[in-house]
Amino acid sequence: MKLKYIIIGVVMLLTAFFPFFTPNNYYLHLIIMIMIYSVSAAGLNLMMGYLGLLPLSVAAFAGIGAFTSANLMIRYNTPFLIALLAAVLLAAVVAASIAVPLLRTRGIFYVIGTMFFQLITYELFLNLVEITGGSIGLRGVPKPELFGYSFSSILELYYFILLMTVATHSTIYLIVKSDFGRSLLAIKENEVKAISLGLNPYTHKLFSFSISMAIAAISGALLAHYLSHISAENFSLLQSIDVFLMVTIGGPGTFYGPIAGAVIWTIVMEVLLSFRGLRELLYGVVLVILMLIIPKGAIGFPMMNMRKMLRTLPIRKFVSAIFK
């Protein structure tokens, strides 16, 4: 496992010194977006990968976080950290309150329930013009600041968001490696057995959903203050599905998976940008191929036995199923 730490060290060094190598700000922007996405993907992974329940409401909570924090800073000049904290708390409370009925359902009903919450919230974002600016959105969201120092240039923003991302991921790391993280895995693997060993699955699901959605709110708030202009379109069902895809591509249930997924997803989307109308179609094709080649996600890829993998490649089954 030494290789793992070398890779992590190299990636961290590269990220830290990236602004000194980059030819232009476009790449800085790309990395910032990756970092923001990786936060929401890691949050979703807590539910989807560790607990095994898929909420399709990440973008809704990111939106709640974004609009709360943006409004507090625009209207009341609230310091950034307090606005962020309020956004996170509001998201956690809303999540807990919708979780009470939602967690009584399971499987596909849970997914559909969260999806409806996402759709309703999107409509609210569109129609609560006073707060969200409706379809035009909010312009001029202040740049983040810490103790009076405002991060306004892209270089400053890059390091600020890097700091926030590292802080969030470290917190998530502590959570998944704690007893709580182990309990979530146990619920996913065998809920009845976990209960028989004395675990209350209900509170664990409730907390996990709250934490997961609060992390989505962090990423939403970061997005709002970085882009300065947000609208309901940033927080639609499509975005929720994108985050789900990032986790799937990267490897659900692993700590590094969602981060890798956010990187791959963003790069693939950027490469496909030149295909314009064909983008979604090609994206679907790339996704199907990725899932066939690496069903356990990108993070499981290096651990796979290459020869065995080639022999049992699901893509062969897929092809033979088509041409049968």
Partner 1 sequence: MEILNVLNINKSFGGIKAVNNLSFAVEQNTITGLIGPNGAGKTVTFDIITGFTKPDSGKVLFKKQDITNKQPFEIARMGIGRSFQLVKLFPQMRVLDVLLFSSQNKLLQHEFRLSPKSGRFKAIENILTSLNIENLRDKICGELSYGEQKLVEVASLLVMQPTPEILLFDEPTSGLSESEINNIINIFQKLRERNFTFLIIEHNMSFIMNICDKIIVLNYGSKIAEGKPQEIKQKKEVLEAYLGESENA
Q: How far apart are CA 126 and CA 134, in angstroms?
A: 4
Instruction: Please say which residue, 100 or 238, places its beta carbon nearer to partner 1.
Output: 100
In DSSP notation, 111-169 reads HHHHHHHHHHHHHHHHH-HHHH-TTT-B--PPPPEETTEE--SHHHHHHHHHHHHHHHH
Instruction: Please say which residue, 90 or 211, places its beta carbon nearer to partner 1.
Output: 211
Q: How far apart are CA 227 and CA 279, in angstroms?
A: 23
Among 67, 77, 59, smallest CA distance to 138 is for 67
Which parts of this chain interact with partner 1 (CB under 8 A)?
174-175, 178-180, 182-183, 185-186, 189-190, 192-201, 203-204, 207
Q: How far apart are CA 84 and CA 79, in angstroms?
A: 9
Least Cβ distance, residue 177 to partner 1 (angstroms): 10
Least Cβ distance, residue 215 to partner 1 (angstroms): 15
Least Cβ distance, residue 206 to partner 1 (angstroms): 9
Instruction: Please say which residue, 169 or 204, places its beta carbon nearer to partner 1.
Output: 204
230 SS3 class: strand
Least Cβ distance, residue 251 to partner 1 (angstroms): 13
Phi, psi (degrees; rounded to nearest 5) at 107: 60, -130
Least Cβ distance, residue 309 to partner 1 (angstroms): 18
Instruction: Please say which residue, 192 or 273, places its beta carbon nearer to partner 1.
Output: 192
Among 308, 279, 314, smallest CA distance to 295 is for 314
Least Cβ distance, residue 217 to partner 1 (angstroms): 19
For the record, the structure tokens of 8 come out as: 């992590």
